[in-house]
Amino acid sequence: MRTKKTETLIRPTVAEKNLRELFERTFGGEVESFVSLKGDGSSRRIFRIKNSSKSVIGVFGPEKLENTAFLEFSKHFKEMNLPVPEIYAEDRSKNIYLEEDFGDTTLFKYLNSVRPSYDFPQEAVKVYLKVIEWLTKFQTAGRKLNHKYCYPRRSFDKQSIMWDLNYFKYYFLRLSGIEFNEQKLENDFEVFSDFLLKAENDFFLYRDFQSRNIMLKGGKPFFIDYQGGRKGALQYDIASLLYDGKADIPPETRKELLNYYLDSLGKIVKVDIDEFLRYYYPFAYIRIMQAMGAYGLRGFYEKKTHFLQSIPYAVRNIEYLLHNSEMPIKVPELMRVFKRIAVSSYLRQFGDTNLRLTVRMRSFSFRNGLPADEKGHGGGYIFDCRALPNPGRIKKYMTMTGKDAEIIKFLEKEKEVEKFIDNAFALIKQSVENYQKRNFTDLMVSFGCTGGRHRSVYCSEEIKKRLKKIGKIKIELKHREIGV
């Protein structure tokens, strides 16, 4: 068989022969193009099949029950006017079917095309808002599904949760060398799974709601790969979307999208937001653990190294959750495992991943104590500016700050100030470059003086100017005592 992607003559398999015949019976005429598409890590084989008038996706799935789930769900969702592929033809006895072709642009591919830097453009946010609106409709419309078709379980039950947790333990923790006490971790898994099962779970859980399973065509989203869907809690799918590793959604954008989701959902069903959020972050954790299990199986075990490139993003998501959410139950060994993952330099350095470093800068007064480390890293630098000439002692400068032109001019004349800033920047630059190479994502740098208004403000502003020239870092500067 000759395809457009290769000049090698390949003998068709039985599945390919069956798909050709199904296409020709359904649409008439001979197949003119039959191209194998990259798989998703499953055992299914997917092809784009064309003639002069029609292009479709042909699928061979070796697991009959999985095929049945997809086909039956597709019919149900089509009847509910949800944007899923039309099923043109099927032969379940041969494990094949033909579905609508939405093209090649996944949401993930689209993100890469509109996001040349680390920023998350507004046009991408607008697409995500559309996707989220459809998610709420899938979750609620799916309540009327015939759950007998769900594969491999009818609901995201205790068995499903324990499968995911052990998937994470054996394929990620074991293979990546993260230490854990197995009995204590198993005890925590029991507590954790029991907690998740207390969330309201009378909804459709899509199961793999992420950027590679959402197609964009004509600016509209379409949805695929829901064959693993089952009855479950609302929180899982929105966490899957917002903590989708390589999509790399910034925290502030995640918050915006989550709020929009809750507003949209509230128009369809009654939502207790506090109760929803109580379970949301634990579901984010289990979704990340499930994904890491897949990275370990495909990457460490099966040696498909491109899966390993997603690990640094998952590590950063765990780090974010550790510092920005509270686990509502006591699972001490599991939390110790998460902390070991978060501080692992080894796990942050797979592939050519470049996570953006944020340098958090603060100016402050020693009289009012050291600035709080919101991230809890306990690292970085605190520079004491009190040995520098102090314009605050001069009456006409007292009410000014290190951002005012007269203070800047005063300090620029002082050689020891310039030397201090040169030395401080040399230390900071060394850490920045090292952190970037190791995919660390946070460095705190603080400048303090007596009042926190003049020298510390000036020095931190000067360091910010120099850091901007390095590039590929995000700089957050707050002047605590002057409120900007």
pLDDT value of residue 472: 83
Q: Can you read off the two tokens belonging to residue 117?
A: 């830097």
What residue ranges define each of the domains in the chain, with the CATH number in brackets?
Answer: 14-100 (3.30.200.20), 107-349 (3.90.1200.10), 357-479 (no CATH)
Taking the C-alpha atoms of residue 364 and residue 453, their distance in angstroms, rounded to an integer, is 8
Pairing of strands 203-205, 214-217: unpaired
Taking the C-alpha atoms of residue 125 and residue 148, their distance in angstroms, rounded to an integer, is 36
Would you give per-residue pLDDT tens digits along the chain (484 residues)? 333 343 333 456 999 999 999 999 999 989 999 999 976 667 899 999 999 999 999 999 999 999 999 999 999 999 999 999 999 999 999 999 999 999 999 999 999 999 877 789 999 999 999 999 999 999 999 988 999 999 999 999 999 999 999 999 999 999 999 999 999 999 999 999 999 999 999 999 999 999 999 999 999 999 999 999 999 999 999 999 999 998 999 999 999 999 999 999 999 999 999 999 999 999 999 999 999 999 999 999 999 998 999 999 999 999 999 999 999 999 999 999 999 999 998 999 887 777 889 999 999 999 999 998 877 766 799 999 999 999 999 999 999 999 999 999 999 999 999 999 999 999 999 999 999 888 888 999 999 999 999 999 999 999 999 999 998 899 999 999 998 8
User: Sheet containing 357-365: which strands, arranged edge to edge?
Assistant: 381-384, 442-449, 357-365, 473-479
Name residue, tokens 């996944």. 106
Whole-angstrom CA distances from 308 to 6, 58, 112, 130, 349 are: 27, 29, 19, 30, 9
For the beta carbon of residue 76, count every other beta carbon within 10 angstroms: 18
Instruction: Work out the end-to-end distance of the chain between its first and last CA atoms, rounded to an integer number of angstroms.
Output: 67
Cβ atoms of 443 and 331 within 8 Å: the answer is: no
Taking the C-alpha atoms of residue 439 and residue 350, their distance in angstroms, rounded to an integer, is 9
Q: Specify whether the backbone of 195 is left (phi greater than 0), alpha (psi in -120 to 50) or beta.
A: alpha
Residue 179 sits at the vertex; the CA angle it makes with 176 and 183, to the nearest 5 degrees, is 120
DSSP string, 129-142: HHHHHHHHHHHHHG
Taking the C-alpha atoms of residue 244 and residue 108, their distance in angstroms, rounded to an integer, is 10
Cβ atoms of 463 and 354 within 8 Å: the answer is: no
Taking the C-alpha atoms of residue 288 and residue 309, their distance in angstroms, rounded to an integer, is 15
Q: Maximum CA pair distance of the chain?
A: 92
Cβ density class 195-207: b for 16+ within 10 Å, e for less: bbbebebebbbbb
Taking the C-alpha atoms of residue 465 and residue 459, their distance in angstroms, rounded to an integer, is 10
pLDDT value of residue 378: 66
Q: Which amino acid is at 176?
A: S
- 152: preceding bond cis by omega (within 30 degrees): yes
- How far does Cα 220 stand from its chain's mean position? 22
| Dihedral sign of CA atoms 164, 318, 332, 259 in order | negative
**Coil vs helix vs strand at 260:** helix
**Coil vs helix vs strand at 96:** strand
